[in-house]
């Protein structure tokens, strides 16, 4: 083996640039921690002329040539998206290189195949940066809690939507106004779809569920609802019952169709959570993940979920690990999909709903409404009725019931003549 | 190698019993995650007759014989204390076994020698359970943040003292009363010295500082003050300035004598922290550790810091890791003391003080008191004066100054004729 470990960097945007900067600034520390120097062998980019800060002799547009170069030991992929990242990572693995990636989209879609390729080649595939930025989360799930049984993982894993929801709660603004503010402040991208519609959080949920439950879960398995339908009324109603609205990624063990505890439910949707819940205090662009394990009990991990520097910190942590493993001649722990738990459809997943209704203030309306819940097998936990003039507001929070039963109840309520309007429907968690 | 990995368990108290239970309950899962079954080869205890729940053929009083048995691969040490744990761990390492320990006292006193022995023998020495129970903390510090530069680690790492201080804040009780309640509730031991006087937290601080700053720090290097001198007045004064009192373990990079950023300060003492600080909300017997890193920014880890099950969860997580490493034929990352930073004495460590004084309500008293701070080079941040009758209360919060200058100021204040009493002195953090 040569005197230094040679690193190929794929992509040089915000994260890639931060990785290069930290590699250079912390060169001596990294060498001491790894036991050998790490040297950048090349940086693959699409437009070399756009990277004047990188020495020209390192820049290349031939990414595949770079990752298969015989002198390259380690590959860091920070391009993002499915292609060409997948082809390049598979080429690197095939050539015996260990890979560090920050690519949630790819890992959530094709993690099983990528892990299989890495295991086959005896190399590492690490991706701590793919979920919750700098927060050490995947390593704790994969290693620290490897001797425990996880029950639930509930996280705020998308900073953009958390910023928007935080602003809606603080200012009373509607979704559109808060999104415009987030865009202005640089917290939302020009096309905010991936964040706002929950695609980003769903990819992260799939990765978390796969690791937590040792079962293959892809982004397509995740029930996904974004926040664009969350209204100022929803946020106000949440406050009235001591809650706040968050976009949650929820991964949990649930009973399967036969009643055995053999399935998982994985979903991303806005939900009301009590302001006393540890996740409620997570404001702005921060991320936090709450974990419930059989023996360890409740744990929470909190920190910055995005940004060049925090993401680069996670990438470099992985880089030190795979470099050490390489020098030790062994790969680190991969993933184990041994449990093979099935993903329960959202319709069958037990959830709780908050429903606010405008109704005619007539005797018997509450009874009629309550009867509709009962007809769908949904038990009501609390109900509050506020009369005003000839109208009244009903605020109902249910117990847990299959999501399809709750949805069907709401559909029926919208059709009832006594109901003038369903003004807010949101799931409730952690009450 | 035999069909299963053979485990020797040293000690079978609350934690050891929970380890055995989890090993048995999760036998299939652990085998799937490790890639091989783990079998208990023996359990070393002092009094075999006290462990009817353990199969008699596994029990032995010959701990040294057990850890050096040729068929044993892994050793879990949950005896605690210095001896015989040290001799047994060194014997196990010398015989080529990998070791998982929950022993903060030993690691904080002799970590350097134990790590050197493990490195020499090419085996693992893991001890996640030694600090903050089930909270994944040492692995994140040692691995996830290995590519970053840590600035500070501030933790609530002792559940007993946190319970006592939480109760004092909730009920207004004094220390003695809250301690009695903690003892009654099972949160304090019959001899609470190790917890109350900060020995437990100091050992954990030493371990955290060693890992965070890649420098050898022992418990003896840690400035240590317990909570027995914290009064109901201190807690009330804290509330008046929007703070709460916590026993903190603080590990931070500080400038050295020559002004270079080349030293560390490691201390355990009660301090007022703002109620808005993430650590302020950590109540009862929970633990939490707040980390500031250059690139990652602020991170927090939260969970149960003690108890048989949570501690056993951390032990088993380490066990899975060392078992995997053994099967891979490689040791995991050890510690690196390469940085060799020196520990700055408490006298030179910059801190901030809160001081409450009863003074005569005469013109010029504030000026006289302020002059005393100035004479010691201490700058005052805020002062509040409440007059009542011929007396007044002065509440002063300083800026940062060397701890010795602050202590000397307080000594002088106690001697001043204008000062009738110094009613509360506590350091302030995180304001």
Chain A, 293 to 312: residues with Cβ < 8 Å from chain B are: 293-304, 307, 309-310, 312
Q: Place A330 in a pLDDT band, splitting at 50, 70 and 90.
A: confident
What are the structural domains, with CATH classification, of chain A?
A: 4-133+308-328 (3.40.50.720), 138-305 (3.30.360.10), 347-428 (3.30.70.260)
Q: How many helical (H) and strand (E) elements, i.e. helices and strands, does chain B have?
A: 14, 18
Q: B321 contacts in A (CB within 8 Å)? A: 143, 146, 333
C-alpha distances out from residue A233 to A230, A247, A248, A429, B73, Å: 8, 16, 19, 18, 61
B14 touches chain A (CB under 8 A): no
H-assigned helices in A301-376: 308-328, 365-375
State whether B297 and A278 contact (CB < 8 Å): no
Reported as a single tens digit per residue, the pLDDT across A359-409 is 988 888 899 999 999 999 999 999 998 887 788 999 999 999 999 999 999
Please check whether residue B319 touches A, CB under 8 A: yes
Query: Is the minimum CB–CB distance between A33 and chain B shorter than 8 Å?
Result: yes
3-state secondary structure (DSSP) of residue B151: strand
Of B32, B140, B317, the CB nearest to A338: B32
CA distance B199 to B399: 28
Burial of B334 (0-12, 13-18, 19+ CB in 10 A): middle
Give the burial class of A228: count Cβ atoms within 10 A of its Cβ; 0-12 exposed, 13-18 middle, 19 or more buried.
middle
- The single residue of A6, A97, A204, A246 carrying the catalytic annotation is A204
Measured CA to CA, the distance from residue A30 to residue B137 in angstroms comes to 20
Q: A residues 48-107 near B, CB within 8 Å?
A: none
Calculate the CA dihedral of residues A123, A128, A130, A132 and round it to 10 degrees. Answer: 170
Q: A317-327 pLDDT, tens per residue?
A: 999 999 999 99
Q: pTM of the entire structure?
A: 0.95
Look up the ipTM and state it.
0.92
Interface touch B293/A325, C-beta < 8 Å = no
Give pLDDT < 70 ranges for chain B: 1-2, 256-261
- d(C-alpha B147, C-alpha B214), whole Å: 12
Residue in A296, A303, A318 nearest the CB of B310: A296
Give how far the C-alpha of residue A131 lies from the chain's centroid of Cα atoms, to the nearest Å. Answer: 6
Helix H or strand E segment including A267: strand A263-274
B182-212 pLDDT, tens digit each: 999 999 999 999 999 999 999 999 999 999 9
Helix axes B199-213, B104-121, angle to 10 degrees: 30
Candidates A139, A281, A320; nearest CB to B140: A139
Number of H helices, E strands in chain A: 14, 18
Q: How far is CA A360 from the centre of its chain?
A: 42
CA distances from A210 to A153, A224, B230 (A): 11, 17, 47
* CB atoms A145 and B336 under 8 Å: no
Cβ contacts of B140 on chain A, cutoff 8 Å = 136, 139-140, 144
**Weakest mean pLDDT among A107-116, A175-184, A250-259:** A250-259
CB contact under 8 A, B301 and A301: yes
B275-280's contacts with Cβ under 8 Å and 24+ in sequence apart are B275/B242, B275/B243, B275/B244, B276/B242, B277/B430, B278/A281, B278/A302, B279/B154, B279/B155, B279/B156, B279/B246, B279/B248, B279/B430, B280/B243, B280/B244, B280/B246
Four-point Cα dihedral B368, B374, B375, B377, nearest 10: 160
Indicate if A6 belongs to the active site.
Answer: no
Distance CA B305, CA B135 (A): 7
SS3 B172: coil
Contact A143 B315 (CB under 8 A): no
Question: Tens digit of pLDDT for each residue in A10-34?
Answer: 999 999 999 999 999 999 999 999 9
Residue of A nearest to B213 (CA): A29
Tokens of residue A312, six digits? 């680069």
Q: Convert the pLDDT of each residue in A155-192 to its tens digit.
A: 999 999 999 999 999 999 999 999 999 999 999 999 99
What is the number of alpha carbons within 13 Å of residue A103 lying toward its C-beta? 26
Contact list, A303 vs chain B (CB under 8 Å): 296-300
Closest Cα partner for A353 from A383, A375, A391, A386?
A383
Does pLDDT of A256 surpass 80? no
Q: Could you tell me if A284 lies within 8 Å of chain B, comparing CB atoms?
A: no
For chain A, give the mean pLDDT: 94
């Amino acid at each position: 083996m040569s005197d230094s470990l040679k690193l190929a960097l794929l992509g040089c945007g915000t994260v890639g640039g931060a990785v290069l900067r930290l590699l250079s600034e912390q060169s001596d520390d990294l060498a001491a921690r790894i036991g050998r120097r790490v040297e950048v062998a090349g940086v693959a980019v699409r437009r070399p002329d756009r990277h004047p800060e990188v020495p020209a002799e390192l820049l290349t547009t031939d990414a595949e040539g770079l990752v298969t170069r015989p002198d390259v030991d380690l590959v860091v992929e920070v391009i993002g998206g499915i292609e060409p990242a997948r082809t390049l990572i598979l080429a690197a693995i095939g050539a015996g290189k260990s890979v560090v990636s920050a690519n949630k989209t790819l890992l959530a879609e094709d993690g099983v195949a990528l892990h299989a390729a890495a295991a086959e080649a005896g190399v590492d595939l690490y991706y701590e940066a793919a979920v919750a930025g700098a927060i050490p989360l995947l390593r704790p799930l994969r290693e620290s809690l490897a001797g425990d049984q996880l029950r639930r993982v509930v996280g705020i894993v998308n900073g953009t939507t958390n910023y928007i929801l935080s602003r809606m709660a603080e200012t009373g603004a509607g979704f559109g106004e808060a999104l415009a503010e987030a865009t202005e402040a640089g917290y939302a991208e020009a096309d905010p779809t991936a964040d706002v519609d929950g695609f980003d959080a769903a990819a992260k949920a799939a990765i978390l569920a796969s690791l937590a439950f040792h079962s293959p879960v892809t982004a397509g398995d995740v029930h996904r609802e974004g926040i664009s339908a969350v209204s100022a009324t929803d946020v106000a109603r949440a406050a009235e019952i001591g809650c706040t609205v968050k976009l949650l990624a929820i991964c949990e063990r649930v009973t399967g169709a036969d009643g055995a505890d053999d399935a998982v439910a994985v979903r991303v949707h806005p939900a009301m959570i009590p302001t006393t819940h540890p996740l409620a205090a997570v404001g702005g662009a921060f991320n936090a993940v709450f974990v419930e394990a059989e023996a360890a009990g409740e744990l929470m991990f909190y920190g910055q979920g995005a940004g060049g520097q925090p993401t680069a910190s996670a990438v470099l942590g992985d880089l030190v690990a795979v470099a050490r493993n390489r020098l030790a001649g062994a790969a680190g722990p991969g993933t184990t999909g041994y449990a093979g738990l099935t993903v329960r459809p959202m319709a069958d997943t037990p959830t709780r709903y908050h429903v606010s209704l405008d109704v005619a203030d007539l005797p018997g309306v509450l009874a009629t409404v309550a009867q509709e819940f009962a007809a769908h097998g949904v038990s009501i936990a609390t109900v509050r009725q506020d009369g005003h003039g000839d109208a009244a507001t009903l605020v109902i929070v249910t117990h847990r019931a299959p999501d399809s039963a709750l949805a069907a109840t709401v559909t029926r309520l919208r059709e009832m003549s006594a109901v003038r309007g369903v003004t807010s429907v949101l799931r409730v968690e952690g009450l």
